[in-house]
Amino acid sequence: MHHQNAVVIDLKFARSGVLEALKGAFPGREVIDMGDPANAGRDLSGVPYAVVWKPDPALFERARDLKAIFSGGAGVDHILSAYELPDLPVVRFVDRSLTDRMSEWVVLQCLTHLRAALPYARQQRDRVWHEISPQPEARDVTVGVMGLGVLGQDAVRKLKVMGFDVIGWSRRQKQIDGVETFDAAGLGAFLARTDILVGLLPLTPDTRGLYNASLFAMLRQGGALGKPVFINAGRGGSQVEADVVTALETGVLGAASLDVFEKEPLSPESPLWDLANVVITPHAAAASDVGALFRHVERQIDRFEKGEPLEYVVDRSSGY
Ligand code: NDP
Ligand code: OXD
């Protein structure tokens, strides 16, 4: 058998970041970087570990002896939805830096809509000196966070520090100090209280298309911001973009911040680009730090080889 302790890397990230992080990574192991054209035809038999982000589907046919797959990001839909995988552990990326970056983005978006940053930017462009008032305080606004996992719980804590009233929703109800939480069955009650909806859900068969017209219609109207706001940094497959556009155009939603889209990159033809109260970022809310990713994979391989359980293993039946 070849490549007995090798790691194959197939990361569709910025190439310079991968190359920099590879310097000195995985000491004592052979590293097969599929981003290097010289490795295109390499025999991958016997390779036990793969670190992937949007990998070439053929990788899993060629690397038939994998013992574990490590996702280059927190989400694993890019692996689970696209390939027929053998029954082996898939490990998510859980990382302080990624978590902090996501919470920064979420807090930024909530403050953007709370403090009328978009209308003020338009006024500045038009050289208009006009105070938009009255404006509510954070405490007057309820932020409803959908998904209370690693990212959702950190965002909840940081939104609370900013003074928002925060509530949360997840499949199984969570206990979080000072936060009212709802389980899957409590969706209606959760939405009826929510002024700013923050989506931090993984993409699974259950969450595909969840953010649609009927869900938007259940959000609180007439709260402190007037109309509800939709913020999504989970996955674009969870939103029905045509419904987002209609909801914004008809005033069911007052504003939106979107980092993820049904199809990425977002088409230049999308009507979302032209809507006044929409923030669009290019799936950049929380990019993986590749150096931290490799250190996390090294730690997990070390555990695995010592016979200790891997951490952050995806439950294949629920898809996250
Ligand atoms: P976790 O697995 O830690 O948390 C997922 C949360 O979603 C859990 O609270 C889970 O509920 C909840 N959930 C899943 N399915 C359902 C459902 N059907 N109904 C209700 N709740 C559900 O994931 P993370 O917090 O680490 O990451 C969340 C997602 O964020 C990733 O999967 C990825 O898609 C996205 N992401 C986006 C990034 C970006 O840059 N835009 C960067 C990183 C991640 P329960 O607690 O009951 O299990
Ligand atoms: C992730 C992402 O899942 O960046 O980590 O989307």
- pLDDT digit string, tens, across residues 55-65: 998 999 999 99
Nearest CA residue ID for atom 20, ligand 1: 171
Q: Which of the residue ranges 8-12, 58-62, 253-257, 285-289 would you say has the lowest mean pLDDT?
A: 58-62
Confidence of residue 134 (pLDDT cuts 50, 70, 90): very high
Which ligand approaches the C-alpha of residue 54 most closely? 2
How many percent of the chain have pLDDT more than 70?
99
Nearest Cα residue to atom 30 of ligand 1:
234
Secondary structure of residue 52 in the 3-state scheme: strand
**pLDDT at 152 exceeding the cut of 60:** yes
Residue 85's pLDDT band (cuts 50, 70, 90): confident
Q: Is 113 a catalytic residue?
A: no
Tokens of 281: 């970022």
For tokens 């290019």, the residue is: 282
283 tagged catalytic:
yes
pLDDT score for 82: 76
- Give the span between the Cα atoms of 155 and 162, in whole angstroms: 11
Range list of H helices, the chain: 15-22, 58-62, 77-80, 96-114, 117-125, 150-161, 187-193, 213-217, 241-250, 290-305
pLDDT attached to residue 3: 77
Condensed to tens digits (0 to 9), the pLDDT of residues 174-202 reads 999 999 999 999 999 999 999 999 999 99
pTM flag (> 0.85): yes
Whether 55 is in the pocket of ligand 2, judged by its Cβ within 6 Å, is no
Q: Is the pLDDT of residue 263 over 80?
A: yes
Which band of pLDDT confidence, cut at 50, 70 and 90, is reported for residue 84?
confident
Distance 197 CA to ligand 1 centre (A): 15
User: Is pLDDT at 1 greater than 80 in this prediction?
Assistant: no
